[in-house]
Amino acid sequence: MSQPIIVWFRHDLRLHDHRALVRAIAEGAPIVPVYILDDETPGQWRAGAASRWWLHHSLAALATDLATAGSKLILRRGKAVEVLPALAHDCRARAVHTSRAYQPWASNLEEELNERLHHDDIAFRRFSGTLLFEPEVVKTKDGGPFKVYSPFWRAATATVDIPKPEPAPRTLPAPSRWPHSDTLASFELLPTRPDWAGGLRETWTPGEAGAAARLKTFLKSALAGYADDRNRPDLPATSQLSPHLAHGEVSPATLWHAAHAIADGKPALAKGLEVFCKELVWREFSYHLLSYWPTLPEKPFRPEFENFPWVTAPELLHAWQRGRTGYPIVDAGMRELWHTGYMHNRVRMIAASFLIKDLLIPWQTGEAWFWDTLVDADLASNAASWQWVAGSGADAAPYFRVFNPSLQGAKFDPAGAYVRKWVPELAHLPDDVLHRPWDAGDVVLRAAGVTLGKTYPKPIVDHGAARDRALAAFKALRGG
């Protein structure tokens, strides 16, 4: 039996369109699939609680899929730079294959692994596949990185050919001897006391099969109206594929080609296809930024925002986190997040704007909360999106663009279905005051069973005054 190849799974927990796996099989070697839970590499962002819940179930699904293919998933815990060479030595592996990672700490980790493995005559090979294309492929005419999304989109779609997905292998050749594996339970990824994951279990099916089912549903029922309806949290109009994409249960190339295949020759789907592809490329743009500006998750892209006069307000932050701000659309989003580990994208922008501009709480604080509570937490997308809302990032919304939560709610949740679902204490308010209950009047409030300050909070800030305060702070920051 020839020496095996270790396939190191990271943010690519699937068998379909897995280039590192496909290339290993093509070499005719036995395959040892491995996942390492590394909470120890310096400088990295440890996965948040919701992501760890998802990771547990995704690893379980991957292990089942590998078993069906005649293989098994080896689990190890510790620093990858130490665990992987030791495992390779134990297996007498001739190579380690993995998908390239793009977090700020990943490059140094991969370089050190390459050196350690090379010292033992073990090849270390990285493959693409977690992005549509590598971050350095798309460049400006001057050969530098893009800072604005629209020209990045145009350049990417004009120059990049997205490879078609590789099929999943039916069988994987097994080694003559399997190395020791930790148990998934020993990773302690699931909550225990209290078990807060009931809403996540109701909402999601982690794993490659769950991703395929989500994709099929989206393409069949929502792609046609995606361009017009994706901003409506009251409609099932988004793909909800982001957590599957974040954990690599489906490749972006699979999404790209599946959407193009179903829309081919169908004018009614053309607009939805274009907008969906732009969303996929926004993710690419986020990684493009992170690759060139690795401090993006911690520091403002625009240096002048280092001196912004943020405030510390623990009580206001807690009210925002728990969906008790007194602004129904914000509260609905924060409660959806707490229950499901997910929030509709339009509502994410509204909630983020409220934290940053109404409360003057730093965007990094909101970013950290989303990192811990989102099942689709993604370092590049999270950082780029929070900085976009804050006005401190590349291709940012101007700081003076301050979302009015009442107007946003009325526009994108016009019949109030979203708010009534997540803020049931307001369910009996009429549509015309649902998004601004403070204007309802005593008679209407009493009829709806609402007592502001008791059954539902009064607004924790006045939006008009808060907007003026934020604009004044921004004006002072600019020196005038």
Helix (H/G/I), strand (E/B), else coil: 18: coil
Instruction: Return d(Cα 290, Cα 89) in angstroms, integer.
Output: 34
Residue 345 annotated to the active site: yes
**Token reading at 433:** 């005051």
Catalytic residue among 45, 282, 338, 438: 282
Could you tell me which of 214, 205, 203 has the C-alpha nearest to residue 258? 214
CB burial of residue 303 (10 Å; 0-12, 13-18, 19+): exposed
Tell me, yes or no, if 45 is annotated catalytic. no
Q: Which residues pair with 9 in a beta bridge?
A: 35
Residues 6 or more apart in contact with residue 132 via CB below 8 angstroms? 156, 160, 162, 252, 253, 256, 280, 281, 284
Q: Which residues of 421-437 are buried (b: 16+ CB within 10 A; e: fewer)?
A: ebbebbeebeeebbbbb
Are the beta carbons of 283 and 380 closer than 8 angstroms? yes
Catalytic residue chosen out of the listed positions 204, 386, 388, 422: 386
Question: H helices of 391-450, where?
Answer: 405-412, 417-422, 431-434, 442-447
Task: State the Cα–Cα distance between residues 308 and 387, nearest whole angstrom.
Answer: 13
Among this protein's residues, is 363 annotated catalytic? yes
Instruction: Exactly one of 45, 310, 338, 438 is catalytic; name it.
Output: 310
Question: Which of the following is catalytic: 40, 45, 134, 345?
Answer: 345
Q: Quickly count: other Cβ atoms within 10 Å of residue 120's Cβ.
A: 10
The reply to whether 310 belongs to the active site is yes
User: Which conformational region is residue 327 in: left (phi greater than 0), alpha (psi within -120 to 50 degrees), or beta?
Assistant: beta
Among residues 363, 369, 388, 422, which one is catalytic?
363
Closest to 48 in 3D by CA, of 383, 372, 377, 381: 372
Is 110 a catalytic site residue? no
Residues with catalytic roles: 279, 282, 310, 345, 363, 386
